[in-house]
Structure 1
Amino acid sequence: MPDTELHPLGRFAPPPGMRRRRWLDRGFTAGATAAALLAVAVLALVIASVLINGAPALSWRFLTHNPHTSAFGVNTGGIANAIVGSAILIALASGMAVPAGILVGVFSTQFAGSRTARSIRFALDVLNGVPTIVTGVFVFGVLVIGGRQSGWAGAVALAIVELPIVGRSAEEVLTLVPERLREAGLALGLRRWRIIVSIILPTAVGGLLTGAVLAVARVAGETAPLIFTTSFAGPGLSVNPGGSLANLPVTIFDLSESPSPTSHAQAWAAALVLILGVLILSLIARVLHDRSVAALRR
């Protein structure tokens, strides 16, 4: 017979400590639920604040016209040059960081030994933890001092920030590819590079795209590296990365530093454009992630 006491009504009494464990379980559940609700509430508060303050200043003219400073020092134009400049910077940075990050993930998961792979992961984690202002100072010292600010310098700074995110996500995705696919390729007599190009990468393409999109969303709002590398841009529209390119993060910073209330409203509107772009990228990454997980489970 189990070592439990019989309840007066004929039921077995709970073992000692059961009530305390139930209360602890309920307490941890309540704490986790509160933390999740707090995170959602903070996100909702940020989005609501930007929407309330930025929506009144948002217009088609604001999105499609370049800045124009009035006689009183107020911008009566828009942020078209900043939108185009940000798109160019992100495209250049992604063109550098995404292929390099995927190659790093392929090397660490397919070719490197366990000790080398751990060293690579550690280096990527350290690089990911470096403050972006340090990255901006580094690129400023290497590419800007002795020359001038340029879109290329800004793109390199963003690529350094983006690289560890792409590399780590590529590692995680490639490790999820079933081992039987590699074994099937070896059984067919394929070389390792052929297995990677024809089997492993196509299988993991959804997850690789997810990591790339998340990395783009991560660097889209980086301000510190761009202040050091491409902040002295003119009011006109420029698509030449050899010169300084206007961009949304620096534009928001400049407008918020202005004493004009009109500029403050425009800063909120530019922030709304930026956060909407990041939200769209995050939703795309979520869809790609779900499709990638479904494909790997087949």
Structure 2
Amino acid sequence: MSVPFSFDHHARRKLVNYLFVALTSGATLFAIAALLLILYSLVVNGIGGLDAQVFTLDQPPPGEMGGLRNAWVGSLIMCLFAMIIAVVIGILAGTWLAEYGDGNKLAVVVRFLNDVLLSAPSILVGLFVYEILVRPFHGFSALAGAVALAFLATPVVTRTTEDIMRLQSHALREAGMALGAGRGHVIRNVIWRASRSGLVTGALLGFARISGETAPLLFTSLGNPFLSFDLTHPMASLPTTIFQFALSAYDDWRELAWVGALLIAIAVLSINIIGRTLTRGSISK
């Protein structure tokens, strides 16, 4: 009596396994197809307007020649300042969680809040920074935009730092402290060096996370039709310029919006590929 039951149970498990594999494979193919369709539409609509003027000329009036120099330069400036903040805070916070947070109630709270920030809507972050940096000072600024982007990138860097440092062998810590080095010295000179590729990966993923954000910048940096390097005044960015141009009634502006979207897609895809490659290399070591 036990043989038929065992056979039926085994067959049912195989059937469930085949069904699960088929569903996950179908979902993967659907996601890949959607990604390819998005990339195809971006290339078809944006590649025709991609030329040297996009990188050398500023935002044009309707019907005139121009490019996106003020937008991509502004995006780069704000993202770099945001990443300086995010990398410093994220690496220190991730290090504390990985090295000192075990069994610490405060670490549980910090980890929970970090997870909340990971999934927080970016528009809420923009509204928060608007209330603390824009409204009190009676003006939009690139600095406020960089702070808003830093709020979005810091949780990514923190989580990546904690995960990559937990992957390092405890033998490294024990060997360093066995030689008489303090815990802080071992972390700075041994663990951080061993985690270098993972820390770089976290920074790259954080940069990719914020490079296409529009909502926080609409409430903070607003935009600027001219090239500006002043962090205390409004500054243009690719996402806000794309938003403005895509909603316009002018064909040349909409064409530039497609070009800007293609540039962001290429940048984000490239950064993610580099980050994943570095992560795989650090884990394999």
What TM-score bracket applies, with the shorter chain setting the length? Answer: over 0.9
Amino acid at match of 2:146: A
Confirm or deny that 1:91 pairs with 2:83. Answer: no
* Structure 1 residue runs of 4 or more that deviate by more than 4 Å after TM superposition: none
Which of 84, 87, 90 is the aligned partner of 1:101? 90
Quote the residue 2:124 is aligned against: 134
In structure 1, runs of 5+ residues without a counterpart are: 6-12
Quote the residue 1:74 is aligned against: 63
Q: Report the Cα offset of residue 127 of structure 1.
A: 1.5
Which of 156, 174, 187 is the aligned partner of 2:147? 156
Structure 1 contact 67–75 (Cα < 8 Å) conserved: no
Match of 2:257, SS state, is helix
Which of 256, 271, 291 is the aligned partner of 2:281? 291
Structure 1 contact 108–116 (Cα < 8 Å) conserved: no
| Distance in 1 separating the partners of 2:247 and 2:274 | 33
Match of 1:239, SS state, is coil
Amino acid at match of 2:166: T
Confirm or deny that 1:56 pairs with 2:56. Answer: no
Amino acid at match of 2:210: V
Which of 164, 169, 181 is the aligned partner of 2:172? 181
| Distance in 2 separating the partners of 1:4 and 1:127 | 53
Quote the residue 2:233 is aligned against: 243
After superposition, the Cα gap between the structure-2 partners of 1:139 and 1:75, relative to the gap in structure 1 and judged at 3 Å, is: farther
Amino acid at match of 1:256: A
Instruction: Look at both structures and tell me which one has the larger radius of gyration over its CA atoms.
Output: 1
Quote the residue 1:199 is aligned against: 190
Match of 2:231, SS state, is coil
Match of 2:7, SS state, is coil
Structure 1 contact 214–285 (Cα < 8 Å) conserved: yes
Match of 1:53, SS state, is helix
Quote the residue 1:9 is aligned against: none
**After the TM superposition, which of the residue ranges 110-119 and 125-134 deviates more from structure 2?**
110-119
Q: Report the Cα offset of residue 21 of structure 1.
A: 2.2
Confirm or deny that 1:190 pairs with 2:181. Answer: yes
| Distance in 2 separating the partners of 1:42 and 1:99 | 36
Q: Report the Cα offset of residue 75 of structure 1.
A: 5.1
With normalisation by structure 2, the TM-score equals 0.94
Structure 2 contact 197–278 (Cα < 8 Å) conserved: yes
After superposition, the Cα gap between the structure-2 partners of 1:48 and 1:93, relative to the gap in structure 1 and judged at 3 Å, is: same
| Distance in 1 separating the partners of 2:18 and 2:60 | 59
Written as runs of structure 1 = structure 2, the 5 A alignment for 1:213-232 is 213-232=204-223
| Distance in 2 separating the partners of 1:116 and 1:43 | 40
| Distance in 1 separating the partners of 2:6 and 2:221 | 68
With normalisation by structure 1, the TM-score equals 0.91
Confirm or deny that 1:122 pairs with 2:112. Answer: yes
Structure 2 contact 223–237 (Cα < 8 Å) conserved: no
Structure 1 contact 62–78 (Cα < 8 Å) conserved: yes
Structure 2 contact 144–220 (Cα < 8 Å) conserved: yes
Amino acid at match of 1:79: L
| Distance in 1 separating the partners of 2:213 and 2:265 | 12
Structure 2 contact 161–202 (Cα < 8 Å) conserved: yes
Describe the superposition over 1:204-225 as per-residue Cα deviations: whole angstroms up to 9, x where unpaired: 1111111110010010000000
After superposition, the Cα gap between the structure-2 partners of 1:237 and 1:190, relative to the gap in structure 1 and judged at 3 Å, is: same
RMSD: 1.7
**After the TM superposition, which of the residue ranges 156-165 and 139-148 deviates more from structure 2?**
139-148
Quote the residue 1:33 is aligned against: 25
- Aligned residue pairs: how many? 283
